[in-house]
Structure 1
Amino acid sequence: MTTPSPLHIHLIAICGTGMGALAVMLKAQGHHVTGSDKDVYPPMSTVLSEQNIPVYKGFSVAHLAPQPDLVVIGNAVSRGNPEAEAVLSRKIRYASMPETLKTFFLWNKTSIVVTGTHGKTTTTSMLAWVMEQAGFDPSYIIGGIPIGWATGAKLGAGDVFILEGDEYDSAFFDKRAKFLHYLPDIVIINNIEFDHADIYNNLDEIILAFRRLVNIIPGNGLLIGAADDEHIQALMQGAPCTNQTFGEGINARWAARQVNITPEGTTFNLYEEGSYRDQLTIPMYGAHNVQNALAVVAAAEQVGVPWEKTVTGLGSFPGVKRRLELRGVINGIHVYDDFAHHPTAVEATLCGLRSAYPDKRIWAIFEPRTATTIRRIFQAGYSTAFDAADYILFAPIYLPHKAPEGNRFSLEELIDGLHTRGLHALALPDVDRIVNHLISHVQPGDHLVFMSNGGFDSIHEKMLKKLEAL
């Protein structure tokens, strides 16, 4: 499918990670791109400015003059937005972000869609890095930014397009999961758990979204999934394509054994169908990142990446911003930024760090922020998610009124439970109090992990500045 070029394409809510990445790729394809958003701030504002993409702060019908050929409406936009209302009333051509990706970029590419409740961003980044280093010049769109890269999106000249596939809905006018638009040839499913309580009522609804994705993989395609996830295995049984599994179990097609985690990273022996293949090293911590690497190995093999390029690519992967990203080391105190918010992700992050530093003190500083986190659905899950930390600090719940009062997450209940189990946990009223508490108690050799899916009021920078001033 081809589209006329150049078009004037306007993006409403352009500063979201996916929308900003789409804007960059549309610009690279030769289109005149504009956008608007409620708030315009770095890093996305910087990325868009460097691409000479005009961005309007706030929403106004004036931003639609002259009238665009196409308006892309982000899934953060709801009815009542003045630009969206004007688009509907004037019958201006419009589409969601994933539909636009499909129309403009995916019809003539081999589409690799990386999905799952956890690990999508890291796995997508790792695969893009391996293929980039191998000279494949892939296209990619990632929900985060690999360390050392300016953006999480690129329009490459190669035949492969790698996409982070989200099960979240596409737009207010299209409630299908985003990944159903992505014309998948290869699908990776890392894991399936309940999430997105604001749009899914239960786990069965999430599994249905993944089943619909599997059902559109072509017969000559490939489904790559975790061997130890019962939901993925059930999907594989009815898949219309070839399946490959990965994991630590003996039944996995791609298996990791003899896993060794040190401060330098993680080393493991790779087995293919029960036979030793090679020893791999990734400069990351944790069993969850070993799983991510196994999925990358399977996908890279499928598209013909030379084996030695896969090995060296994995070994040189720099990581992803906000995924246990080391922001600084001052006076022997390590400060990390991490995106974890689901209990499973919190536990995996802290356990990975504990494996690398078994004798060091670990502080977990957590902001309950997502639409799911602020609900009771994860109340029990959080009760053990922080066990690998020595000390746990909680910021106030972000916008708690967005959760129904009878279904609201209770920080007090969680802390009482942690105290009952002998853990050191404390809630503090704001970021400044958290930083001051840490300054009064941290010691050289401590590791501080700040966890939030938002900006956390720049707590990392505030902490580093305070440490520098000591």
Structure 2
Amino acid sequence: MAATAAALKDLGLQVTGSDQNAYPPMSTFLAARKIPVMSGYTEANLAHQPDLVVIGNAISRGNPEAEAVLERKMRYCSLPELLKEYFIRGKRSLVVTGTHGKTTTTALLTWVFEHNGLNPSYLIGGIPNNLGQGARFTDSPWFIIEGDEYDTAFFDKRSKFVHYLPELVIINNIEFDHADIFASLGEIQTAFKRLINLVPRNGLVLANGDDPNVAPLLPAAPCPVKRFGLGEDNAVRAFNLRLGPTASEFEIPSYKFHLNLVGEHNVRNALAVVAAAKHCGLSNKQIQAAFDTFKGIKRRMEVRGVAGGVTVLDDFAHHPTAIRETLRALRIKYPTERLWAIFEPRSNTTRRNVFQRELAESLAGADRIVVAQVARSEQIPPAERLDPVRLMQDLRAAGKQAEYLPDVDTIVDYVVREAEGGDVVCVFSNGGFGGIHARLLERLGQRRP
């Protein structure tokens, strides 16, 4: 929201905001742009009679400021609606969707356009290392946006991505997720059907042709559909994959691509980018030139540091499939090292027991596993809550060294005591996890040889 607020100010509008707690870097960014942020939510924040109130999807009924907006019948909208009307309408909107790989695919596609001088507007759910920020708004005809299937706001339960006026949609994959708002895989597929139905006749859906959960959505598409993947029936197919510890290679019938990312899942992400970029007029050579200089994304297999001979990584993965694929990629990158996985059940899905068995299967890709306590566990009924002790027991039954250690202090003490030089420790969490990365590095660096 901060980048959007700054972009609105650049349009000459007066912008203010409200937040319960504003922290750096966002608080300092907004202060530098002279955008006031009022602390807390209260009706008094509306005393200046704003023409439009943008209500984020973290706000629910009962919020005093939102209640005042409704009572006073003020004009309001969601952030996706604002993006549509102020920044996307009139542009060529490329929407990247899917349960997994959205951020990497969006960042890579954006970098392909940026590297080739197209200066796209973009909105990405992470920080690409090449770009330094997750959002930018330009006068380019191109807008590249990560399309989330999560709901828009308390007053609009449709998925966010239905607001983005798609000309081209990438569907990377579909799995069950967001257990707090979707009851089944079928409900998620329905959300994607609604998105496909918004693509104009002269648009395009690029769909993962290897995903059986995507296939049923495609026959009714009102626009052209092109499938990509590794299977022989795909219109855009990658073959001759070579997955190395620092890079990957793959071929399409007319070209061989080199990618500075590790793992088959990243080859699939890159293949979607190739298909989209070529559709938009870029050549294989132009795409490869951007691939050569792509530096990845923060919190995606990001090396936070090495201390005491132990490498500490940060990864945002919080779905069993994402964890499994990340650990597979780390096995390729670190083929002889002992691999640790430290997992915090923090997302709305992993705090629930819908993936109790699958999480054990995914985390078993590591040599040693530490499971933390379920974040905000009191919000989940006991019958629906993930059981971290059972998760540990299932991992042990599979022959893995696994521990359930509830808090960060205990985890740090354990890892510092047990980790050996050469070990690789990957922390899986979609939150800050109590600053565990910095604390591990500090303590590991203090160990005596």
TM range (shorter): over 0.9
1:231 and 2:213 are equivalent in the alignment? yes
1:4 is matched with none
Other structure's SS at 2:90 match: coil
The structural deviation recorded for 1:148 is 4.4
1:220 is matched with 202
Match of 2:10 among 28, 49, 61: 28
- Alpha-carbon distance change, 49 to 266 in structure 1, aligned in 2, over 3 angstroms: farther
Q: Report the residue type matching 1:87 in the other structure.
A: V
Distance in 2 (alpha carbons) for counterparts of 1:154 and 1:387: 39
RMSD: 1.3
Match of 2:162 among 180, 187, 190: 180
Structure 1 alignment gaps of length 5 or more: 1-18
Distance in 2 (alpha carbons) for counterparts of 1:305 and 1:28: 30
1:369 is matched with 346
Q: Report the residue type matching 1:88 in the other structure.
A: L
1:48 and 2:30 are equivalent in the alignment? yes
Paired residues of 2:130 and 2:294 also in contact (CA < 8 A):
no
1:379 and 2:356 are equivalent in the alignment? yes
1:255 and 2:237 are equivalent in the alignment? yes
Report how many aligned residue pairs link the two structures.
Answer: 447
Paired residues of 1:25 and 1:153 also in contact (CA < 8 A):
no
1:314 and 2:275 are equivalent in the alignment? no
Q: 1:199-245 CA distances to partner (integer Å, 9 max, x unpaired)?
A: 11111111000000001100000001111112212212111111111
Distance in 1 (alpha carbons) for counterparts of 2:11 and 2:270: 31
Paired residues of 2:307 and 2:442 also in contact (CA < 8 A):
no
Other structure's SS at 2:214 match: helix
The structural deviation recorded for 1:383 is 1.9
| TM-score, reference length from structure 2 | 0.97
Q: 1:241-260 CA distances to partner (integer Å, 9 max, x unpaired)?
A: 11111111112222222222
1:460 is matched with 437
Distance in 1 (alpha carbons) for counterparts of 2:62 and 2:326: 39
Match of 2:402 among 410, 425, 432: 425
Q: 1:371-415 CA distances to partner (integer Å, 9 max, x unpaired)?
A: 111111111211210122110011111011211221111111111
1:132 is matched with 114
Identity rate, percent:
50
1:163 and 2:140 are equivalent in the alignment? no
2:52 is matched with 70
Match of 1:264 among 246, 252, 255: 246
1:9 is matched with none
1:283 and 2:260 are equivalent in the alignment? yes
Paired residues of 1:282 and 1:316 also in contact (CA < 8 A):
no
Distance in 2 (alpha carbons) for counterparts of 1:381 and 1:361: 22
The structural deviation recorded for 1:60 is 1.8
Structure 2 alignment gaps of length 5 or more: none
Distance in 2 (alpha carbons) for counterparts of 1:46 and 1:451: 27
Distance in 1 (alpha carbons) for counterparts of 2:28 and 2:288: 34
Other structure's SS at 1:77 match: coil
The structural deviation recorded for 1:306 is 3.2
1:326 is matched with 303
- Alpha-carbon distance change, 301 to 347 in structure 1, aligned in 2, over 3 angstroms: same
1:110 is matched with 92
The structural deviation recorded for 1:329 is 2.2
Q: 1:290-323 CA distances to partner (integer Å, 9 max, x unpaired)?
A: 1110111111111112332211112211111111
Distance in 1 (alpha carbons) for counterparts of 2:390 and 2:65: 43
Match of 1:143 among 96, 119, 125: 125
Paired residues of 2:304 and 2:313 also in contact (CA < 8 A):
yes
